[in-house]
């Protein structure tokens, strides 16, 4: 299992160049790249008075930044950074990366990050790891990314721990090791990081790297869900609906599906719509179901698109509208939903919401027949054969070729 949902965290990505400073392009006017530091001794700890002065200047810079006086803040950070202040080096890198108070310059930014990271500043070490993983400003180097994540993680930095866990989970820059992934997810989760809590819950739910323990999984999902992590909210709702790892609680499931769906979690929107359409967990409300199906469908959920197509074709939950039915079934069929492919073929056959076209009908039913398994396969094959009899030999050959092309081009199985 790869916890791919957690592989993209929306964190600012920067990078340190592994090219020697002399080989790098000159920085544009603004924040200059620091002088090479490989031969420089580690700065001695400042005297207490100097440290207090530096803290006061950092506080002043923070106030200026809060007033959007970025250029003035950058000047203070630059002066402190040149004196070896790691916190200022990190902030100067942030400014250069974002282009706040100085022209955007990735190379200068990452050079300052490195200076701070080499002084042991864990946040800067995470920045460098993210940079090497993403390839911003330097050739992508997952191995170096893991090196920096490890340094930060060993200092107890939760984002570093999460990033290291993800590296072990996905096998980026290091051999995949679910047990080590779970270990580092746990360390970040124990510090309250919601994404790590959700990922750790997923590990316990699936028994990946740790013994399977649905109850423990649910406890971690709950912690992350309370912090607003939408995947955890969805997974907690699923557990409550199924009564796995916790007592079944339909009302609780609806609550967490709703919170996740409102935050644009499309699977949660689909499950919420299903519950409202079926009336098994809560009283049936077909109009509300259509609203949530639509939200999920607009986010690209093929199951919701197929459901909407059926609703509009039947006029059950919404006024009958064959044009809408055709639109949603087409979208679902293009995504590989077999049921939608069969129904789309029938729409073409009967001329519902689209001009009648036996050749197009055959194409979509043939695509579905090549993938359909289980109950109903016999009926689909019979429909395909009936459509074939309505075509000329030339039309049939063309339709079969197009159906095969669709299956291959979409890698449908």
pLDDT, residue 3, reads 57
pLDDT, residue 24, reads 35
Cα–Cα distance for residue pair 305/312, rounded to 1 Å: 11
Query: Locate tokens 């609780």: which residue?
Result: 252
| Alpha-carbon torsion, ordered 314, 299, 231, 130, to 10 deg | 160
Delineate the domains of the chain, giving CATH numbers in brackets: 1-20+53-141 (1.25.40.10)
Residue 292 contacts residue 262 (beta carbons within 8 Å): no
Cα–Cα distance for residue pair 300/291, rounded to 1 Å: 15
Based on the number of CB atoms within 10 Å of its own CB, is 79 exposed (0-12), middle (13-18) or buried (19 or more)?
Answer: middle
Put simply, whether the predicted model's pTM sits higher than 0.95 gets the answer: no
Q: What angle do helix axes 86-98 and 122-134 make, rounded to 10 degrees?
A: 30
Query: Locate tokens 């992508």: which residue?
Result: 140
pLDDT, residue 374, reads 83
What is the greatest pairwise CA distance in the chain? 93
CB atoms near residue 78 (< 10 Å): 24
pLDDT, residue 327, reads 98
Backbone dihedral angles phi then psi of residue 118, each to the nearest 5 degrees: -70, -20
Backbone dihedral angles phi then psi of residue 246, each to the nearest 5 degrees: -165, 165
pLDDT, residue 235, reads 98
Query: Locate tokens 């090791």: which residue?
Result: 177
Cα–Cα distance for residue pair 28/413, rounded to 1 Å: 52
Residue 201 contacts residue 235 (beta carbons within 8 Å): yes
CB atoms near residue 206 (< 10 Å): 15
Backbone dihedral angles phi then psi of residue 301, each to the nearest 5 degrees: -75, 115
Residue 344 contacts residue 335 (beta carbons within 8 Å): no
CB atoms near residue 216 (< 10 Å): 17
Element (H, E) at 267: helix 266-278
The terminus-to-terminus CA distance of the chain in angstroms comes to 21
Q: Which two tokens stand for residue 90?
A: 């990190």
pLDDT, residue 35, reads 63
Cα–Cα distance for residue pair 402/347, rounded to 1 Å: 18
| Alpha-carbon torsion, ordered 307, 310, 311, 313, to 10 deg | 160
pLDDT, residue 41, reads 54
pLDDT in tens, the chain (413 residues): 555 555 544 344 433 333 333 333 333 356 677 766 554 455 666 656 788 999 999 999 999 999 999 999 999 999 999 999 999 999 999 999 999 999 999 989 999 999 999 999 999 999 999 999 999 988 899 999 999 999 999 999 999 999 999 999 999 999 999 999 999 999 999 999 999 999 999 999 999 999 999 999 999 999 999 999 999 999 999 999 999 999 999 999 999 999 999 999 999 999 999 999 999 889 999 999 999 999 999 999 999 999 999 999 999 999 999 999 999 999 999 999 999 999 999 999 999 999 999 999 999 999 999 998 888 999 999 999 999 999 999 999 999 999 999 999 988 87
């Amino acid at each position: 299992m790869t916890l791919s949902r957690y592989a993209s965290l929306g964190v600012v990505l920067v990078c340190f160049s592994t090219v020697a400073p002399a080989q790098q392009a000159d920085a544009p006017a603004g924040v200059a790249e620091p002088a090479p530091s490989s031969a420089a001794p580690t700065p001695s700890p400042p005297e207490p008075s100097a440290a207090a002065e530096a803290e006061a200047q950092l506080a002043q810079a923070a106030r200026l930044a809060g007033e959007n006086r970025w250029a003035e803040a950058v000047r203070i950070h630059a002066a402190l950074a040149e004196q070896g202040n790691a916190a200022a080096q990190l902030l100067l890198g942030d400014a250069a990366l974002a282009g706040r108070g100085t022209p955007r310059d990735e190379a200068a930014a990452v050079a300052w990050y490195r200076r701070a990271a080499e002084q042991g500043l864990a946040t800067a070490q995470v920045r460098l790891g993210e940079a090497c993983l993403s390839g911003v400003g330097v050739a992508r180097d997952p191995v170096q990314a893991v090196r920096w994540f490890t340094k930060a993680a060993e200092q107890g930095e939760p984002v570093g721990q999460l990033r290291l866990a993800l590296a072990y989970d996905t096998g980026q820059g290091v051999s995949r090791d679910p047990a080590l992934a779970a270990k580092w997810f746990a360390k970040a989760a124990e510090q309250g990081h919601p994404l790590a809590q959700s990922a750790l819950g997923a590990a316990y739910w699936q028994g990946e790297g740790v013994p399977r323990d649905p109850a423990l999984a649910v406890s971690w999902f709950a912690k992350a869900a309370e912090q607003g992590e939408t995947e955890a909210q969805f997974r907690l709702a699923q557990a409550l609906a199924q009564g796995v790892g916790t007592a079944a609680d339909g009302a609780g499931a609806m609550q967490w599906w709703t919170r996740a769906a409102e935050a644009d979690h499309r699977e949660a929107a689909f499950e919420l719509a299903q519950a409202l359409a079926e009336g098994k967990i809560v009283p049936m409300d077909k109009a509300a179901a259509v609203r949530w199906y639509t939200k999920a469908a607009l986010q690209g959920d093929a199951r919701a698109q197929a459901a909407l197509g059926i609703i509009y074709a039947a006029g059950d939950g919404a006024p009958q509208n064959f044009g809408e039915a055709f639109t949603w079934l087409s979208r679902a069929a293009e995504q590989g939903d077999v049921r939608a492919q069969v129904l789309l073929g029938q729409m073409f056959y009967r001329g519902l919401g689209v001009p009648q076209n036996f050749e197009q009908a055959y194409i979509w039913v043939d695509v579905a027949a090549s993938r359909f398994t289980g109950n109903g396969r016999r009926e689909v094959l019979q429909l395909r054969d009936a459509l074939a009899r309505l075509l000329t030999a030339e039309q049939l050959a063309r339709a079969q070729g197009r159906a095969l092309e669709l299956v291959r081009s979409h890698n449908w199985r």
